[in-house]
Amino acid sequence: MKNTVGLMALLLSSVAYGHGDMADSGQVFKEVPVTNDIVMLQGKGGNIGLLQGEDGVLLIDDDYKENIGALEKALDKKSAKPRFIINTHWHGDHTGGNEHLGEYASIVAHDNVRSRMASDQEIKFFGMNVPASPKAALPLITFEQSMTLHFNGQTLDVVHYPNGHTDGDSIVIIQPANVVHMGDHFFSGFFPFVDLESGGSVQGMTKNIEAVITKMNKDTKVIPGHGPLSTQKDVKTYHKMLVKTTAIVKRAMDKGKSLEDIKKKGLPSKWKSWGNGFIKEGVWITLVYTSLKG
């Protein structure tokens, strides 16, 4: 466990939540078409949603601070600077561009995103300390439950789903485009990270995913926090994984099995491929176990 957590702390600090500097990291963003006016930008951090039209550009998340140069190059191709940025949660691989882009864009997020970014944070699970963000990076517009933006002929419902990945997660439902940006509630095809120290829980994530599925249909385009452009079917498969693997861990706990016992036995073979992301099977079992312990 110690070696696994140590490795994950290194990965998360350098890959998922690092602040870095303002230099262009050399990262090139891959542009994945979603609709005629919406694209998904895939870089080093979380997936970015980009809406473009007569009202200008709106971003959902903005990758790492260190990748701002690469992101600006991608934006230059659109010949417009973003007017709005929606942060799906507070982690640095989704909010790193705030400080720079906030010079001309209005940043929108849940109340808890601003609160967490404005103060030092600790993720004990990985032995990490994250310093407070500068004022320029903080969301300017915050909300408690939900808010709606009307932009480029689309209605964006920004809805808070509590205590899932963190305590400040928002999912963005875009109509009539029939697109949903899930933030880190959804890691497409692999085990997710659940930030227990930031108010997240596996149980809450599972409940929230079940609720969001009802907002979709078979034609919905789903932008995950990490992973490829997806569909409602992919989200249903992900929800099934959350339910089934949690039940396996809970049954073992009910029988008095220790965390080490459960990790040693592992999960059934059908779930092995889900450990091919940066959250390996043993870490996922630990997250589920810890979340169930409360």
Q: Which tens digits make up the pLDDT trace of 94-111?
A: 999 999 999 999 999 999
E strand intervals along the chain: 30-33, 38-42, 48-53, 56-60, 82-86, 106-110, 121-123, 128-130, 141-143, 146-151, 154-160, 170-175, 179-181, 221-223
Domains and CATH numbers, the chain: 2-293 (3.60.15.10)
Residue 3 has pLDDT above 50, yes or no: no
Give the model's confidence band at 28: pLDDT under 50 very low, under 70 low, under 90 confident, else very high.
confident
Q: Which range has the top average pLDDT, 17-31, 78-92, 164-178?
A: 164-178
Residue 21 has pLDDT above 50, yes or no: no
Residue 256 has pLDDT above 60, yes or no: yes
In this prediction, residues 185-213 reach a mean pLDDT of 97
pTM for the model: 0.92
In this prediction, residues 185-214 reach a mean pLDDT of 97
